[in-house]
Each structure stands twice: as C-alpha cells, then as structure tokens.
C-alpha cells in the first residue's frame, strides 16, 4: 500500500455546496476502490492524505491533479505503508477555518490523525490545523 500527501490551492470560492459535492464524489469513488484518507480545507488550501493500493491511488491522484477546482497541487510525500492510518474513512473531511476555535480544531485533527503510524504525516496535518488564520 501507498500513502500519498499533497497540498493545493482552491481556485475561486468553493462554497459549502461545492465542497459537499466534492466530498460526496470522493467518498463514493474511494469506497469503490478501497482508498481511505483525510482532507483538510481552510477555505484557501487543501491538505490531503490518500492511502490504498498503488494503482487505484495513482489513478485517483491523476484525476485530482487535473481537477479545475484547485491548482498548484504539490506532492509532499509518498511512501510504502503496511497499515492504514485513516482506515475508518473513505475520506474524512474537516474545515479548519471559520467558526471553530483553534483549540477545538487542533483537538479534532489530533483525533483524526491519531492512528497514523508515521510521525511526519501526523505533524504535517497538525501544523496545518495550528496555523493562526486570524493573524494579520
């Protein structure tokens, strides 16, 4: 199995309807091909981890990279893994802006990455959650 992480920048304003459409399609497709993962979105950037067998994962990632809803998709890591860290979720999703206190967010994301064996991947998601988005 492979675990792959990337970061990207949303194109235009993705509202709640657009993001729930995106998530529904992702979960449906991922369930079909046995992919699991986590997607964080702060209104500007996406941070996503995908894990599963290499062939369906790379086919999915190729579709994701070509998706006009975001741009500047940069792969941050790709590794062979023995076990799933996001085993319960076709694609777990968390908005990390607006309305939720940073403490709550950090706790939520901490829970979402708790089973990920790789410390670098956990740290990546935690630092994305910890960014102070109210800073000037």
Ligand X SMILES: Cc1cc2nc3c(=O)[nH]c(=O)nc-3n(C[C@H](O)[C@H](O)[C@H](O)COP(=O)(O)O)c2cc1C
Alpha-helix runs per DSSP H in 1-118:
16-33, 54-65, 102-113
Strands 45-52, 92-95: pairing kind: unpaired
Among 24, 31, 63, 74, the residue binding ligand X under the rule CB under 6 A is 63
96 binds ligand X (CB under 6 A): no
For ligand X, the binding residues in 72-91 under the rule CB under 6 A are: 91
Strands 45-52, 2-10: pairing kind: antiparallel
38 binds ligand X (CB under 6 A): no
Nearest alpha carbon to residue 121 among 93, 81, 94, 64 = 81
Among 18, 20, 59, 67, the residue binding ligand X under the rule CB under 6 A is 67
Among 38, 46, 84, 112, the residue binding ligand X under the rule CB under 6 A is 46
> Which CB atom, from 75 or from 107, has the smaller least distance to ligand X?
75
45-53, 92-100, 105-113, 118-126 -> range binding ligand X (CB under 6 A): 45-53
102 binds ligand X (CB under 6 A): no
CA atoms within 13 A of residue 127's CA, in its CB half-sphere = 6
Among 45, 69, 78, 102, the residue binding ligand X under the rule CB under 6 A is 69
Q: Are 10 and 43 in contact (CB under 8 A)?
A: yes
Q: Are 4 and 74 in contact (CB under 8 A)?
A: no
Q: List interacting residues with ligand X (CB under 6 A).
A: 8, 22, 25-26, 29-30, 37, 39, 46, 48, 50, 60, 63-64, 67, 69-70, 91
């Amino acid at each position: 199995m492979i675990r792959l992480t990337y970061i990207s920048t949303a194109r235009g304003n993705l509202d709640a309807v657009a993001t729930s459409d995106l998530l529904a399609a992702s979960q449906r497709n991922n369930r079909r091909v046995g992919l699991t993962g986590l997607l964080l979105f702060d209104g500007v950037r996406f941070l996503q981890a995908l894990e599963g067998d290499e062939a369906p994962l790379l086919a999915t990632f190729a579709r994701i990279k070509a998706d006009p809803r975001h741009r500047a998709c940069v792969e941050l890591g790709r590794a062979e893994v023995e076990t799933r860290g996001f085993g319960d979720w076709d694609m777990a999703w968390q908005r990390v802006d607006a309305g939720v206190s940073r403490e709550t967010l950090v706790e939520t994301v901490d829970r979402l990455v708790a089973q990920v064996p790789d410390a670098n991947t956990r740290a990546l998601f935690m630092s994305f959650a910890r960014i102070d988005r109210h800073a000037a």
